[in-house]
Amino acid sequence: MNKLPNFDIKPNGEISREFLSRNMFTFYQAIEFIRNLSYGRNLNKEDLITVFTDNKGTCSTKHAVLKQLAHENHFNDIKLMLGVFKMNAKNTPKVAQTLTENNLKYIPEAHNYLKYKSEFFDFTKPNVSSSDFLNDLFFETEIQPNEITRDKVQIHRSFLVNWLNENSDIGYSLDEIWRIREQCIQNLSE
Protein backbone atom coordinates (compact mmCIF):
# COMPACT_ATOMS: atom_id res chain seq x y z
CA MET A 1 0.00 0.00 0.00
CA ASN A 2 2.86 2.39 0.74
CA LYS A 3 3.60 2.61 -3.00
CA LEU A 4 0.33 4.51 -3.48
CA PRO A 5 0.20 8.24 -2.75
CA ASN A 6 -1.42 8.98 0.60
CA PHE A 7 -3.28 12.22 0.00
CA ASP A 8 -5.53 14.24 2.28
CA ILE A 9 -9.19 13.92 1.29
CA LYS A 10 -10.82 17.23 0.32
CA PRO A 11 -14.62 17.67 0.15
CA ASN A 12 -14.46 17.76 -3.67
CA GLY A 13 -17.21 15.28 -4.42
CA GLU A 14 -19.83 12.89 -3.10
CA ILE A 15 -17.45 10.01 -2.37
CA SER A 16 -14.92 12.30 -0.68
CA ARG A 17 -17.66 13.74 1.54
CA GLU A 18 -18.83 10.20 2.48
CA PHE A 19 -15.36 9.33 3.76
CA LEU A 20 -14.96 12.66 5.56
CA SER A 21 -18.35 12.21 7.26
CA ARG A 22 -16.99 8.93 8.66
CA ASN A 23 -13.87 10.65 10.04
CA MET A 24 -11.55 9.33 7.38
CA PHE A 25 -9.23 12.08 6.21
CA THR A 26 -6.56 10.33 4.13
CA PHE A 27 -6.50 7.94 1.19
CA TYR A 28 -4.85 5.26 3.34
CA GLN A 29 -7.67 5.49 5.90
CA ALA A 30 -10.18 5.11 3.07
CA ILE A 31 -8.31 2.06 1.75
CA GLU A 32 -8.38 0.37 5.16
CA PHE A 33 -12.10 1.05 5.49
CA ILE A 34 -12.81 -0.39 2.03
CA ARG A 35 -10.53 -3.40 2.50
CA ASN A 36 -12.25 -4.32 5.76
CA LEU A 37 -15.83 -4.04 4.49
CA SER A 38 -17.62 -7.36 4.05
CA TYR A 39 -17.52 -8.94 0.61
CA GLY A 40 -20.92 -8.98 -1.08
CA ARG A 41 -22.92 -7.62 -3.95
CA ASN A 42 -24.41 -4.17 -3.58
CA LEU A 43 -28.07 -3.41 -4.12
CA ASN A 44 -27.25 -0.82 -6.79
CA LYS A 45 -23.79 -1.05 -8.36
CA GLU A 46 -24.50 2.05 -10.44
CA ASP A 47 -24.63 4.20 -7.29
CA LEU A 48 -21.29 3.92 -5.50
CA ILE A 49 -22.80 5.34 -2.31
CA THR A 50 -24.36 1.89 -1.80
CA VAL A 51 -20.94 0.65 -0.68
CA PHE A 52 -21.46 2.87 2.38
CA THR A 53 -25.18 2.20 2.87
CA ASP A 54 -24.87 -1.57 2.31
CA ASN A 55 -21.65 -1.67 4.35
CA LYS A 56 -20.17 -4.14 1.85
CA GLY A 57 -18.88 -4.38 -1.69
CA THR A 58 -17.31 -6.49 -4.40
CA CYS A 59 -14.02 -6.00 -6.19
CA SER A 60 -15.92 -3.78 -8.62
CA THR A 61 -17.66 -1.42 -6.23
CA LYS A 62 -14.83 -1.26 -3.69
CA HIS A 63 -12.18 -0.34 -6.25
CA ALA A 64 -14.53 1.99 -8.14
CA VAL A 65 -15.09 3.92 -4.90
CA LEU A 66 -11.34 4.24 -4.35
CA LYS A 67 -10.77 5.30 -7.97
CA GLN A 68 -13.55 7.87 -7.70
CA LEU A 69 -12.04 9.17 -4.46
CA ALA A 70 -8.66 9.52 -6.15
CA HIS A 71 -10.27 11.28 -9.11
CA GLU A 72 -12.18 13.73 -6.90
CA ASN A 73 -8.87 14.60 -5.23
CA HIS A 74 -6.97 15.01 -8.53
CA PHE A 75 -4.90 11.81 -8.30
CA ASN A 76 -5.75 10.56 -11.78
CA ASP A 77 -2.62 8.41 -12.08
CA ILE A 78 -4.38 5.84 -9.88
CA LYS A 79 -6.17 3.66 -12.42
CA LEU A 80 -9.15 1.34 -12.11
CA MET A 81 -8.33 -1.86 -13.96
CA LEU A 82 -10.43 -4.71 -15.28
CA GLY A 83 -8.52 -7.94 -15.66
CA VAL A 84 -9.69 -11.39 -16.64
CA PHE A 85 -7.86 -14.17 -14.82
CA LYS A 86 -8.04 -17.94 -14.43
CA MET A 87 -10.11 -18.34 -11.25
CA ASN A 88 -9.12 -21.72 -9.87
CA ALA A 89 -8.94 -23.71 -6.65
CA LYS A 90 -5.45 -22.44 -5.88
CA ASN A 91 -6.00 -18.68 -6.21
CA THR A 92 -9.65 -18.79 -5.06
CA PRO A 93 -10.12 -21.79 -2.73
CA LYS A 94 -13.80 -21.11 -2.03
CA VAL A 95 -14.69 -22.01 -5.65
CA ALA A 96 -12.91 -25.39 -5.66
CA GLN A 97 -16.00 -27.50 -5.07
CA THR A 98 -18.07 -25.75 -7.76
CA LEU A 99 -15.27 -26.11 -10.30
CA THR A 100 -14.79 -29.79 -9.44
CA GLU A 101 -18.52 -30.51 -9.67
CA ASN A 102 -18.51 -29.00 -13.16
CA ASN A 103 -15.27 -30.66 -14.34
CA LEU A 104 -13.47 -27.35 -14.75
CA LYS A 105 -9.87 -26.61 -13.80
CA TYR A 106 -10.63 -22.89 -13.88
CA ILE A 107 -13.11 -20.35 -15.15
CA PRO A 108 -12.16 -16.94 -16.61
CA GLU A 109 -13.28 -14.32 -14.13
CA ALA A 110 -13.34 -10.54 -14.47
CA HIS A 111 -11.69 -8.77 -11.56
CA ASN A 112 -11.26 -5.11 -10.67
CA TYR A 113 -8.24 -3.67 -8.90
CA LEU A 114 -6.16 -0.51 -8.86
CA LYS A 115 -2.92 0.15 -10.67
CA TYR A 116 -0.45 2.93 -9.94
CA LYS A 117 2.59 3.19 -12.17
CA SER A 118 3.56 -0.47 -12.61
CA GLU A 119 2.19 -1.70 -9.26
CA PHE A 120 -1.06 -3.62 -8.73
CA PHE A 121 -3.30 -3.19 -5.67
CA ASP A 122 -6.21 -5.39 -4.61
CA PHE A 123 -8.32 -4.21 -1.68
CA THR A 124 -11.23 -6.63 -2.10
CA LYS A 125 -10.67 -8.32 1.28
CA PRO A 126 -8.26 -7.95 4.21
CA ASN A 127 -5.96 -10.84 3.28
CA VAL A 128 -6.10 -10.56 -0.51
CA SER A 129 -3.13 -9.60 -2.62
CA SER A 130 -2.75 -8.85 -6.30
CA SER A 131 -0.21 -11.67 -6.41
CA ASP A 132 -3.18 -14.03 -5.91
CA PHE A 133 -4.30 -13.46 -9.50
CA LEU A 134 -1.44 -11.80 -11.40
CA ASN A 135 0.20 -15.06 -12.52
CA ASP A 136 -3.15 -16.19 -13.92
CA LEU A 137 -4.05 -12.95 -15.72
CA PHE A 138 -5.22 -13.30 -19.33
CA PHE A 139 -5.44 -9.56 -20.02
CA GLU A 140 -6.28 -6.21 -18.45
CA THR A 141 -7.72 -2.88 -19.53
CA GLU A 142 -8.36 0.41 -17.79
CA ILE A 143 -11.98 1.32 -17.09
CA GLN A 144 -13.80 4.12 -15.28
CA PRO A 145 -16.03 3.76 -12.20
CA ASN A 146 -19.19 4.13 -14.30
CA GLU A 147 -18.12 1.12 -16.38
CA ILE A 148 -18.26 -1.52 -13.63
CA THR A 149 -21.76 -2.63 -14.56
CA ARG A 150 -22.77 -3.12 -18.21
CA ASP A 151 -19.32 -2.52 -19.72
CA LYS A 152 -17.59 -4.95 -17.38
CA VAL A 153 -20.19 -7.65 -18.03
CA GLN A 154 -19.98 -7.09 -21.79
CA ILE A 155 -16.17 -7.39 -21.79
CA HIS A 156 -16.34 -10.48 -19.57
CA ARG A 157 -19.03 -12.23 -21.63
CA SER A 158 -17.17 -11.46 -24.89
CA PHE A 159 -14.05 -12.99 -23.42
CA LEU A 160 -16.01 -16.09 -22.37
CA VAL A 161 -17.45 -16.50 -25.88
CA ASN A 162 -13.94 -16.49 -27.36
CA TRP A 163 -12.65 -18.79 -24.63
CA LEU A 164 -15.47 -21.28 -25.20
CA ASN A 165 -14.89 -21.18 -28.98
CA GLU A 166 -11.17 -21.85 -28.50
CA ASN A 167 -11.85 -24.63 -25.97
CA SER A 168 -14.76 -26.55 -27.50
CA ASP A 169 -13.90 -29.60 -25.35
CA ILE A 170 -15.30 -27.72 -22.31
CA GLY A 171 -18.79 -28.51 -23.56
CA TYR A 172 -20.72 -25.63 -21.98
CA SER A 173 -22.74 -22.86 -23.57
CA LEU A 174 -22.19 -19.23 -22.56
CA ASP A 175 -25.32 -19.29 -20.39
CA GLU A 176 -24.22 -22.50 -18.69
CA ILE A 177 -20.71 -21.22 -17.97
CA TRP A 178 -22.20 -17.94 -16.69
CA ARG A 179 -24.42 -19.90 -14.25
CA ILE A 180 -21.37 -21.83 -13.00
CA ARG A 181 -19.54 -18.52 -12.60
CA GLU A 182 -22.48 -17.08 -10.66
CA GLN A 183 -22.30 -20.05 -8.29
CA CYS A 184 -18.58 -19.38 -7.82
CA ILE A 185 -19.33 -15.76 -6.94
CA GLN A 186 -21.98 -16.95 -4.48
CA ASN A 187 -19.33 -19.24 -2.92
CA LEU A 188 -17.14 -16.19 -2.34
CA SER A 189 -19.90 -14.45 -0.38
CA GLU A 190 -20.31 -17.37 2.03
Q: Give yes or no: residues 39 and 96 share one domain.
A: no
In the prediction, which pLDDT does 125 show?
Answer: 86
For residue range 142-165, list pLDDT tens digits in order. 999 999 999 999 999 999 999 999
Alpha-carbon Rg of the chain, whole angstroms? 17
The CA distance from 133 to 23, in Å, is 32
- Is there a domain that residue 41 lies in? yes
Average pLDDT of span 63-80 = 98
Q: What is the mean pLDDT of residues 111-131?
A: 88
Let me know whether 117 and 169 are in one domain.
Answer: yes
Residues 38 and 63 in one domain: yes
pLDDT value at position 181? 94
Residue 5 pLDDT greater than 80, yes or no: yes
What is the pTM (predicted TM-score) of this model? 0.91
Q: For residues 58 and 190, give the distance between their C-alpha atoms in angstroms, rounded to a whole number.
A: 13
Provide the percentage of residues in the chain whose pLDDT is more than 70: 97
- Residue at a domain's end among 48, 72, 96: 72
Which of 23, 40, 1, 9 minimizes the C-alpha distance to 125? 40
Mean pLDDT for the stretch of residues 47-76: 97
Domain count, the chain: 2
| Span 103-116, pLDDT tens digits | 999 999 999 999 99
What confidence category does residue 133 fall into, taking pLDDT thresholds of 50, 70 and 90? confident
Give the residue with greater pLDDT, 159 vs 46.
159
Phi, psi of 82 (to 5 degrees): -115, 120
Q: Which domain holds residue 54?
A: 14-72
Q: Is the pLDDT of residue 65 over 90?
A: yes
CB burial readout 172-185, b (16+ within 10 A) else e: beeeebbebbebbb
**Residue 174 shares a structural domain with residue 125:** yes
Query: Both 96 and 55 in a single domain?
Result: no
Among 72, 92, 115, the domain boundary falls at 72
Residues 66 and 157 reside in one and the same domain = no
pLDDT of residue 1: 59
7 domain-assigned: no
